[in-house]
Structure 1
Amino acid sequence: MQGCIMSILKRKIQEFEDALFTKEIDVYQLKKLCFNGIPDEGSLRPLCWKLLLNYIPFSRDKWTQTLTLKRELYKSFIDDLIVIPGQSNLERGRIDVTTDDHPLNLDPDSEWQTYFKDNEVLLQIDKDVRRLCPDISFFQQGSEYPCQAIVHSNGQKRLHQRVHHTVLKSASVERKGLGITKIAVSTRKAAEDYAPLEGGEAHWEVLERILFIFAKLNSGQGYVQGMNEIVGPIYYSFACDPDQKWREHAEADTFFCFTNLMSEIRDSFIKSLDEAEFGINAMMSKLMQEVKFSCYEVWMRLHQQELCPQYYSFRWLTLLLSQEFPLPDVMRIWDSLFSDENRFNFLIHICCAMILLCKEQILSGDFATNVKLLQNFPSTDVQIVLTKAVELAEKSKMF
């Protein structure tokens, strides 16, 4: 039996290698392979995700040029966006309040005013990344490749030192101005916040920098709580790449893949787009329509109990199920989502499958029991969920 499993795995890995290591990669063939799950062995998943998230082209001849340009660009973002106000004044050893910028300067174009405003956003980022995936130790560990420009700045450019840390009490997703400000308080908590490392950088500090730079470059959207749950699995995959040449640039590569992914799911993070065609309300409506179509009995039970999808599926859909499953399962789910031809339509089928797999509990449970059930989805073999989702997807094509 073990030999048979190993034989199947080797054949699957060979199929991926045949698809990837060609001059021109067949997009359709690669997506078909990835949809059914990318093997954990080797560098297959990090490479496939970079292709599926449109970071590197499907023509291998263009990789070197693309990667060089992108990584240099990210380095310039660090140099230009993580700045110390008044540094030139400090170097001169004095401040002339009549001509120099200073902390009390009320000019909106003042570097200090920008610095203080940035710190308001940074405070939330800092809180979120310090508690990312507390069930594994990875994000607390030191990065193999810390940013030298930051580490050797005598601590002046280390973002976590810019904010006063306070106790975090928050929901899984919370947006300013959102009608429902507390969706579901997360039960995944660390005993205490992750601590900074002396002489190096922890992985959570790298993520803090990625999210801060993203917020600075996307001022119209900024940082929204929950984005840390999106960037985390991508960075984890890239930072654990067995290939040192790729692993060394995990931060820059993660930034651009995360940016590309956010450009596709941004509607879920912007309140003004809630009612848009691909907004979160439209997605929740599609989910309930599929539940109704697939199992009217379950839909009616939820409807009678007035158990609105906002109570549980808001988080599922917005965070791509990153809080509902262990990290390895999340990565397997994302293999299918990233390779979905219809770009995340399959997410609706997965969420519907999750609800239908809880059919017996939902039909026998009262409102409080069912809310708790769906907000804390029970431990389940992710392959069972995905198999059911594929079944639902095939059924939807028939009508």
Structure 2
Amino acid sequence: MVKKKVPDWLNSSLWSSSSPSSPPSSAVASPFEQPPPPPPRPPSPAVVTPSEPPPRPPSPPAVHDPLPTQRIDDSPREDHGDGFRSAHDVSRQAQLLAELSKKVVDMSELRSLACQGIPDAAGIRSTAWKLLLGYLPPDRGLWSAELAKKRSQYKQFKEEIFMNPDTEIIDQIDRDVKRTHPDMHFFSGDSQFAKSNQEALKNILIIFAKLNPGVQYVQGMNEILAPLFYVLKNDPDEENAASAEADAFFCFVELLSGFRDNFVQQLDNSVVGIRSTITRLSQLLREHDEELWRHLEVTSKVNPQFYAFRWITLLLTQEFNFADSLHIWDTLLSDPDGPQETLLRVCCAMLVLVRKRLLAGDFTSNLKLLQNYPTTNISHLLYVANKFRVQSV
């Protein structure tokens, strides 16, 4: 068999560089400094996941202010300093604001702009995510009536479901919500603000579980809900921020509709279950870098389920700091075919970006690396993932 040549651009030193725009650890602590939470569902008894390395002590908690603007581009660029990055962000921010101000939003144009990363300003991400998830229609004239209808519907759900709550589900959700981003004041701590945010997360998850008996609540759903609620709650529009719980519920339903089969244990071994999804990631890696695939899965025997289960089910929320996760989600939500295919390409890119270390490693070192993914430049990560899309066409 002829070994498939790895493109030269994959071996560039650029791919190992840290993002110059990543926020300092005091702003948003990295999940690598926390013990990684258990996956939503452990692997079947036939697969034994090796124990993870001992956790590092957590960083000081972060403030709940909106995150600093970061540059996320669709190609690697030379760093020309903060002036260049700011001008680039300001330009894209202006383009996004102009698009969102149209009478009818051009969804194709919005996806094209948003996939590069949405600047953290003016509530752009909150509105863009609602549109990208299908919660808001493209016609701005329909927004007011649609929001009023959905928010009233959520209020009715809440009143009916909490008349006869399920204590067992509530207890499980409560435990998980209290563990959500313990490094951020927005989600954790004794402040009334943090407690009210925790209460909102609990309400959403309880209502979702009751309305979706086939899925119910699965551990880890709190981690997927957290970015949605955070973004919507930080909308500068007071009315939107006040209705963040209702809006986040419907956005959560829309987002999970493309991933719900990953959470249904009865479907684990089906063509739509989590094992099948992990197999597709393995196939994607083999297609783009057979040498790395062979070393990981044949030579060093690293079963992709040991690391990819968490990557896929939690949509990478535990592998990067919170700000970087939001920018990755900008790209995931912008895919017109749904976020799953883009998610798999990003996961494949994560493997390729550390290929030199993986090729030099054995089972133990490679598993440790992939279960504690190193800091990376998110622009470059998304660039490589997009390259895989182009090559697959």
Higher relative contact order (CA 8 A, sep 6+): 2
Q: Please give the residue correspondences for 1:97-108 in structure 2 after superposition, counting only pairs within 5 Å.
A: none
Out of 360, 363, 369, which is 1:367 matched to?
Answer: 363
Equivalent of 2:233, from 230, 236, 239? 239
Q: Which residue of structure 1 aligns with residue 172 of structure 2?
A: 124
Q: 2:386 aligns with which of 373, 387, 390?
A: 390
Q: Does 1:7 align with 2:1?
A: no
4+ runs of 1 displaced by more than 4 Å?
A: 194-198
2:251 is matched by which residue type in structure 1? Answer: C
1:327 aligned residue: 322
Say if 2:204 and 2:245, in contact at 8 Å, map to a contact too: yes
2:312 corresponding residue in structure 1: 317
d(CA) in 2 for partners of 1:245, 1:34: 24
Question: 1:3 deviation in Å?
Answer: 3.8
CA contact (8 A) 1:71 1:253 kept: yes
3-state secondary structure, aligned to 2:258: helix
Whether the 8 Å contact between 1:196 and 1:205 is mirrored in structure 2 is: no
Once residues 385 and 158 of structure 2 are traced to their aligned partners in structure 1, the CA distance between those partners, rounded to angstroms, is 41
Q: Distance in 1 between matches of 2:191 and 2:169?
A: 19
Match of 2:220 among 211, 219, 226: 226
Paired residues, number: 311
Shift of 1:274: 2.5
1:267 matched to 2:261: yes
1 CA distance for matches of 2:167 and 2:127? 34
Q: Is the CA contact 1:240–1:247 (under 8 Å) kept in the aligned structure 2?
A: yes
- Matched ranges for 1:151-230 at <5 A: 194=189, 197=192, 201-230=195-224
Q: Residue deviations 1:70-117, cap 9 Å, x none?
A: 11111112211112xxxxxxxxxxxxxxxxxxxxxxxxxxx6xxx5xx
CA contact (8 A) 1:55 1:260 kept: yes
Q: Select 2:131's aligned residue among 51, 64, 72.
A: 51
| Separation in 2, partners of 1:5, 1:307 | 39
Tell me, in whole angstroms, the C-alpha distance in 2 between the residues paired with 1:137 and 1:363.
Answer: 40
TM-score, length-scaled by structure 1: 0.75
**In the alignment, which residue of structure 2 is the partner of 1:351?**
347
Q: 3-state SS of the aligned residue for 1:302?
A: helix
Deviation at 1:201, TM superposition (A): 4.1
| Alignment match, 1:308 | 303
Separation in 1, partners of 2:84, 2:369:
37
- Provide closer, same or farther for how the CA distance between residues 359 and 326 of structure 1 changes in structure 2, counting only shifts above 3 A: same
Assess if the C-alpha contact under 8 Å between 2:176 and 2:219 holds in 1: yes
Per the normalisation by structure 2, the TM-score is 0.76
Residue pairs, 1:6-155, within 5 angstroms: 6-83=86-163, 115=165, 118-140=166-188
**Which one-letter code corresponds to 1:223 in the other structure?**
Y
The C-alpha deviation readout for 1:194-220, integer Å capped at 9, x for no partner, is: 55849x943112101111111111122
CA RMSD of aligned residues (A): 1.7
Give distance in 2, aligned partners of 1:240 and 1:18. Answer: 21
Structure 2 SS opposite 1:202: helix
Counterpart-to-counterpart distance in 1, 2:366 and 2:316:
18
* Distance in 1 between residues matched to 2:244 and 2:146, nearest whole Å: 15
User: For residue 273 of structure 2, what is the amino acid of its counterpart?
Assistant: G
Instruction: Read off the aligned partner of 2:170 and give its amino acid letter.
Output: L
Counterparts of 1:8 and 1:385, CA distance in 2: 19
Superimposed CA distance per residue, residues 293-321 of structure 1 (whole angstroms, 9 cap, x where no aligned partner): 22222111112222111100011111111
Of structures 1 and 2, the larger Rg is shown by: 1
Residues in 1 aligned to 2:320 and 2:167: alpha-carbon distance in whole angstroms: 32
SS where residue 224 of structure 1 aligns?
Answer: coil
Shift of 1:380: 1.3
- After superposition, give the CA deviation of every residue in 1:197-252 in whole Å (9 maximum; x if it has no partner): 49x94311210111111111112210000100110000000111112121111110
Contact 2:118–2:124 (8 Å) recurs in 1:
yes
Equivalent runs, 1:248-267 vs 2, <5 Å: 248-267=242-261
Q: How far 1:6 sits from its partner (Å)?
A: 3.0
Deviates more, 1:200-209 or 1:325-334: 200-209
Of all paired residues, the percent bearing the same amino acid is 40
| Contact map agreement 2:187 2:195 (CA 8 A) in 1 | no
State the shift of 1:268 in Å. Answer: 0.6
Give the C-alpha shift of residue 2 in structure 1: 4.0
Superposed displacement of residue 396, structure 1:
1.5
Structure 2 CA distance for aligned equivalents of residues 2 and 264 of structure 1? 37
CA distance in structure 2 between the aligned counterparts of 1:306 and 1:10, rounded to whole angstroms: 47
Q: Structure 2: state its 5+ residue gaps.
A: 1-80
Which digits, 9 at most, give the CA deviation of each residue in 1:312-350, with x for residues without a partner? 001111111111111111110111111112212111110
Aligned to 1:340: 335
d(CA) in 2 for partners of 1:355, 1:372 = 13
The one-letter code of the counterpart of 1:128 is D
- Secondary structure of the corresponding residue to residue 138 of structure 1: coil
CA distance in 1, matches of 2:331, 2:319: 16
